[in-house]
C-alpha cells in the first residue's frame, strides 16, 4: 500500500479517529469498522464508528455495535465527530454519494482520509488508498492492513468475529469472490478461536416467520423470468411493503434466490419505497451487472453484485431495465 510508512507515522501517537462506512451498512461495512476501531483503541487512539443509517438487527451480536453513532438519529453529533477527527477511515465505500449528505462533511473535513475498500472505480477524495477490487471484502483488507502495520498479534476473538462476519456475508458463505487469502484468513481466525459455526447461525438462521413468508410471496407471486436472456426479476411493490410490514433488512438476500435457477445469469430485485425505487443486481461468472447499474440506475458496486436506485413509476423503471437488457447481456444459446 502506498503511504503505509506515513500512516504508521500518523498512528504512532494517540489520535482522534472516526471510521465510517456506507449507508444501509451490511456485515462487511459494520464488521470492518468495528474490527479496525477496536484495533486502534489498543494503541491508545480514540475511535468513533459512524454509520449514515441504522444497521440490520441481525448484526447486534458484534462487539461494539451499541457504541456506533448513527447519523440519521443524531446528525449534529456525527458531523461534530467527523469534523474534529485527526484521521477518518472510509471503509467499504468508494464514492461520497454512498454516505448521503455526509459527503461534503467528509470531503471538507480536516482529518487525513484513508480509504479501505473493494468496490470498482474509487473516487479521488482520500489521502491514502487500500483499494483492491479483487478482495472478497473490506474485512479481508482490514485484516491485511493490520498485517501491514505489523499488528496481527493484537487481533482478538471479538475483532476476529467482526472480520469473519464481513468475509462470510460478502462471499455469500464462501461461494463467490473467494481467493486463497480468504481461506487463509478464515483459517487463521479459526485458529485464534473464532467460532464460524456460531457466526453462520447468527447470520443465516435468524429470519422471522414474517421474513420467510415474504420470501415465499416474492418467489411465488412476484417473480418473472426473461428466458431468452436468462434474466430473473423480482418486484416488491408498495402494497407488498404494507401487507408484509416490510422494514429495513427484511428483503436482504431475496435477490440471490433467482440465481439458483440454472439458466438465470442475471438477477434483479426492485423495491418500491416511498420516494425511490431501490434495485439490487446480481450475476454469475463473467456476466457483469456493474455497467448497467452505473449507466442507468445511479449505482454500481461489483461485477457480480451491484445496487442502484431510480425515481419514477415502478412500471416505468422496470421497463427501462427490460429495454436495456439486450444492450448489456447476450442471448442464451439454447
Q: What residues make contact with ligand 5GP under the rule CB under 6 A?
A: 95, 98, 119, 280, 299-302, 305-309
Which option in ligand 5GP, Mn ion, none does residue 15 bind, with CB closer than 5 to 8 A by kind? none
Contact 31, 58 (CB under 8 A): no
In the complex, least distance from residue 229 CB atom to Mn ion, rounded to whole angstroms: 27
Of 1 and 309, nearer to ligand 5GP (C-beta) is 309
**Residues 28, 161, 196, 250: which binds Mn ion (CB under 5 A)?**
28
Phi, psi of 212 (to 5 degrees): -70, -35
* Residue nearest to ligand 5GP as judged by C-beta position: 307
Pairing between strand 277-283 and 231-236?
Answer: unpaired
Cα separation, 37 vs 49, in Å, equals: 7
Residue 212 CA from chain centroid, whole number: 22
Applying CB under 5 A, the span of 67-75, 97-105, 135-143, 197-205 interacting with Mn ion comes to: 135-143
Contacting Mn ion within 61-100 (CB under 5 A): 92
199 DSSP β-pair partners = none
**Residue 12 CB, nearest approach to ligand 5GP (Å):** 33
Q: At what angle do helices 138-148 and 180-192 cross, to 10 degrees?
A: 70
**Residue 301 binding result from Mn ion, ligand 5GP, none, given CB thresholds of 5 to 8 Å by partner type:** ligand 5GP
Buried b (16+ CB within 10 A) or exposed e, 181-199: bbeebbebbeebebebeeb
Looking at the DSSP bridge assignments, the partners of residue 88 are: 18, 113
In the bound complex, what is the minimum distance in angstroms from residue 138's beta carbon to Mn ion?
Answer: 5
Assess contact for 294 and 95: CB atoms under 8 A.
no
3-class DSSP state of 106: helix
Residues 150-179 that bind Mn ion (CB under 5 A): 170
- What is the distance between the alpha carbons of residues 138 and 130, in angstroms, rounded to a whole number? 10
The answer to the question of residue 196 lying near Mn ion (CB under 5 A) is no
CB of 229 to ligand 5GP, least distance (A): 20
Among Mn ion, ligand 5GP, none, partner that 309 touches (CB below 5 to 8 angstroms by kind):
ligand 5GP
Does residue 140 touch Mn ion according to CB under 5 A? no
Contact of residue 196 among ligand 5GP, Mn ion, none (CB under 5-8 Å per partner type): none
Binding site for Mn ion (CB under 5 A): 28, 92, 138, 170
Amino acid at each position: 500500500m502506498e503511504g503505509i510508512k506515513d500512516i504508521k507515522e500518523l498512528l504512532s501517537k494517540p489520535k482522534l479517529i472516526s471510521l465510517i462506512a456506507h449507508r444501509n451498512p451490511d456485515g462487511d461495512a459494520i464488521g470492518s469498522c468495528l474490527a479496525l476501531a477496536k484495533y486502534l483503541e489498543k494503541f491508545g487512539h480514540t475511535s468513533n464508528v459512524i454509520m449514515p443509517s441504522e444497521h440490520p438487527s441481525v448484526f447486534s451480536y458484534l462487539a461494539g455495535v451499541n457504541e456506533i453513532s448513527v447519523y440519521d438519529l443524531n446528525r449534529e453529533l456525527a458531523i461534530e465527530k467527523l469534523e474534529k477527527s485527526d484521521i477518518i477511515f472510509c471503509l467499504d465505500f468508494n464514492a461520497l454519494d454512498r454516505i448521503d449528505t455526509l459527503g461534503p462533511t467528509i470531503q471538507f473535513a480536516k482529518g487525513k482520509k484513508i480509504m479501505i475498500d473493494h468496490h470498482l472505480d474509487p473516487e479521488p477524495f482520500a489521502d491514502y488508498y487500500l483499494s483492491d477490487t479483487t478482495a472478497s471484502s473490506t474485512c479481508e483488507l482490514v485484516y491485511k492492513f493490520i498485517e501491514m502495520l505489523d499488528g496481527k498479534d493484537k487481533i482478538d476473538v471479538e475483532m476476529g468475529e467482526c472480520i469473519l462476519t464481513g468475509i462470510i456475508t460478502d462471499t455469500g458463505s464462501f461461494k463467490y469472490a473467494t481467493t486463497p487469502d480468504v481461506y487463509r484468513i478464515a483459517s487463521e481466525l479459526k485458529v485464534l478461536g473464532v467460532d464460524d459455526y456460531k457466526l453462520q447461525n447468527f447470520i443465516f438462521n435468524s429470519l422471522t416467520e414474517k421474513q420467510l413468508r415474504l420470501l415465499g410471496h416474492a418467489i411465488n407471486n412476484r417473480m418473472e423470468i426473461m428466458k431468452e436472456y436468462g434474466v430473473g426479476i423480482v418486484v416488491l411493490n408498495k402494497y407488498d411493503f404494507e401487507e408484509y410490514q416490510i422494514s429495513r433488512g427484511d428483503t436482504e438476500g431475496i435477490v440471490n434466490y433467482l440465481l439458483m435457477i440454472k439458466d438465470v445469469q442475471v438477477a434483479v430485485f426492485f423495491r418500491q419505497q416511498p420516494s425511490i425505487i431501490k434495485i439490487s443486481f446480481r450475476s454469475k461468472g463473467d456476466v457483469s451487472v456493474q455497467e448497467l447499474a452505473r449507466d442507468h440506475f445511479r449505482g454500481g458496486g461489483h461485477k457480480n453484485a451491484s445496487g442502484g436506485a431510480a425515481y419514477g413509476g415502478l412500471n416505468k423503471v422496470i421497463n427501462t431495465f427490460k429495454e436495456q437488457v439486450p444492450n448489456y447481456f447476450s442471448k442464451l444459446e439454447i
